[in-house]
Copies of this chain bind each other. A is one copy, B any other.
Amino acid sequence: MKIAITGGAGLLGRKLAEHLAASGRLGGKEITGLTLHDVVPPAAPEAAPFPVKLLTGDLPGEGETDRIIAERPDAIFHLAAIVSGEAEQDFDKGYRINLDGTHQLYESVRLAYADAEKKPRLVFASSIAVFGAPFPEVIPDDFHLTPLTSYGTQKAIGELLLADYTRKGMLDGVGIRLPTICIRPGKPNKAASGFFSNICREPLAGKEAVLPVSEDVLHWHASPRAAMGFLTRAATIDPNLLGARRSLTMPGLAVTVGEQIAALRRVAGEALVKRIRREPDSFIAKIVAGWPRKFDAARALKLGFTADASFDDIIRVHIEDELGGKIAA
């Protein structure tokens, strides 16, 4: 089977490409080709047992989404997006990439596979930001879409379009509402949720981190490793199990910032925790206040998606996968 990934230079795109290269298979089928696309040049995963095509370009640019699917992939992972903080500050850019780019990708698939009997699986990386306050204590899978950010609005629209194109038999879409990915490796990005990772990753690397909100902020997390499980499960799930409702809230861990810090203390010691500096930021705090905190992901759990076991585990996964097992002194 052939695969294409948008946002191939991003965290999840890179990890997914590496995961596919290491396995050589997806859903029991041999992978025969991979296309990676991003606005910055993506890197080919090491030692891939299949040809890798690398594309760089502007997602909603003329003909760009046609190029992405030129090899007629059987599965498309649409991970490209302007992140929440940036989409909130650059209104035009957010709509151009997250709405126009997404819609154009669906259109390209619709036209390219018009005569195909089997439509490609399109896995859309949605977000819990499609939900906005006020919330019940635990948010059910069928809570109404009430985004309070432009990013969340764009993701909600991506879900609605995905369902309609799927209903019309133009593609075979599955949307997964990802928890905040924690611990993100690498450098801080422009996502307003960045600090959830920073306060763990930076101390583990011997650096100082800034905490812009209070310790009682509750949030919904999944490790990059859990996210790989979500993506591959979404790519291979029997569509008959889904029905008309094509987007699912992924299972995560609901923990407070204080619980994150306690886990860090348990796994890595008190000295590291001292590297977290409190610096309240009302812009971040306001965005975060509108975010959902805790979900009942019963539907996804029943469909075979699995969460991390604990935040201690999330930290251990990071130390293992990103730091070669070593914590900075």
Contacts and interface: CB of A to CB of B under 8 A. Distances in A.
Interface of A: 91, 132, 142-148, 150, 153, 156-157, 160-161, 163-164, 167-168, 244-245
Contact of A161 (B142, B153, B164): B153
A164 B148 CA distance: 7
A253 B144 CA distance: 24
A160 B153 contact: yes
Given A144-B145, A146-B244, A150-B168, 16 more contacts: A91-B168, A144-B144, A145-B156, A145-B160, A146-B163, A147-B160, A147-B163, A148-B167, A148-B244, A150-B164, A153-B160, A153-B164, A156-B160, A157-B160, A157-B161, A160-B160
10 contacts: A91-B168, A132-B244, A144-B144, A145-B145, A145-B156, A146-B163, A146-B244, A147-B164, A156-B160, A157-B160
Nearest to A168: B91
A142 B157 CA distance: 17
Nearest to A162: B153
Given A153-B164, A160-B157, A146 B91 contact: no
